[in-house]
């Protein structure tokens, strides 16, 4: 926080930003593919599938192992995948280093904290609760909360509305192009982490900042605030 400015809201992506969900997503996906008589996919393939929600993850898994499912089967396959994934116990080891401490630091400094993920809301809330991260979030929007998903701006704006804050000065923290695109469309600052599932070189993402460690986040936020203040004073 700079001067007497109100601490800015910070919205987080989940998969690839706060947690490494690829092992559990891959386990559930491979169990699903096995039930449909398909071969297993590799961890690298699973990581390349993540970022656009469970329906796209499942569709990509089937496309990579023998072709797309008939439309009549896709709904049942998605429902079965979500059941398989939800049944897996939360693994504390999936939380990236520094996440709990940094979230607590930001919340303690007065930043309203929100979450915007393409993962279903009920699964998201259960997972966060099991990992001990749920209390820090003042608002959560999942992939099934609205008709739109990231990279559309509406989910981010819905998080801010639930937090009671405007977009001005708010920041979105994520690992992929959908997060950066949603932030830009909503008028938010964007910070990308380089360690998640960026689907390319993280340096190529048009984010305002790219950080290599989650613990670098408070400093990156401060730098963005300072930069915005300097720009406004110079205009």
**10-19+95-234 and 22-86 in the same fold:** no
**The pLDDT value given to residue 235:** 59
Q: Report the alpha-carbon distance of residue 76 to residue 60 in Å, rounded.
A: 15
State the architecture of 22-86 in CATH terms: Orthogonal Bundle (1.10)
Residue 218 above 80 pLDDT?
A: yes
Residues 47/196, Cβ–Cβ less than 8 Å:
no
Q: Report the alpha-carbon distance of residue 211 to residue 185 in Å, rounded.
A: 21
CA-angle at 78, arms to 159 and 120, nearest 5°: 15
CA distances from 53 to 1, 2, 108, 224 (A): 34, 36, 31, 29
216 is catalytic: no
Phi-psi map region of 17: left, alpha, beta (phi>0 left; psi -120 to 50 alpha): alpha
Residue 8 above 50 pLDDT?
A: yes
Residues 111-127 have a mean pLDDT of: 97
Strand partners, 106: none
Every domain of the chain and the residues it spans: 10-19+95-234, 22-86
For 84-95, the pLDDT digits (tens) are 999 999 999 999
Domain 10-19+95-234: which CATH class?
alpha beta
Q: Report the alpha-carbon distance of residue 153 to residue 208 in Å, rounded.
A: 17
Of the residues 4, 13, 104, 216, only one is catalytic, namely 13
């Amino acid at each position: 926080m700079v001067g007497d400015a109100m601490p800015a809201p910070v919205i987080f992506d989940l998969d690839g930003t706060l947690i490494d969900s690829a092992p559990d997503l891959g386990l559930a996906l491979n169990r699903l593919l096995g039930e449909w008589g398909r071969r297993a996919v590799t961890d690298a393939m699973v990581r390349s599938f993540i970022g656009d929600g469970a329906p796209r993850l499942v569709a990509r898994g089937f496309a990579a192992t023998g072709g797309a499912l008939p439309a009549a089967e896709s709904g049942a396959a998605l429902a079965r995948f979500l059941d398989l994934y939800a049944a897996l116990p939360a693994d504390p080891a999936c939380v990236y280093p520094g996440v709990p401490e940094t979230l607590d630091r930001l919340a303690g400094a007065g930043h309203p904290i929100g979450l915007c993920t393409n993962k279903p809301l009920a699964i998201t809330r259960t997972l966060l609760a099991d990992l001990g991260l749920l209390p820090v979030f003042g608002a959560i929007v999942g992939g099934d909360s609205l008709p739109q998903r990231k990279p559309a701006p509406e989910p981010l704006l819905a998080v801010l509305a639930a937090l009671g804050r405007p977009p001005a000065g708010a920041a979105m923290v994520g690992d992929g192009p959908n997060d950066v695109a949603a932030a830009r469309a909503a008028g938010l600052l964007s910070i990308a982490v380089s360690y998640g599932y960026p689907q390319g070189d993280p340096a190529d993402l048009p984010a305002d900042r790219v950080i290599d460690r989650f613990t670098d986040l408070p400093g990156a936020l401060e730098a963005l605030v300072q930069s915005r203040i300097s720009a406004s004073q110079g205009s």
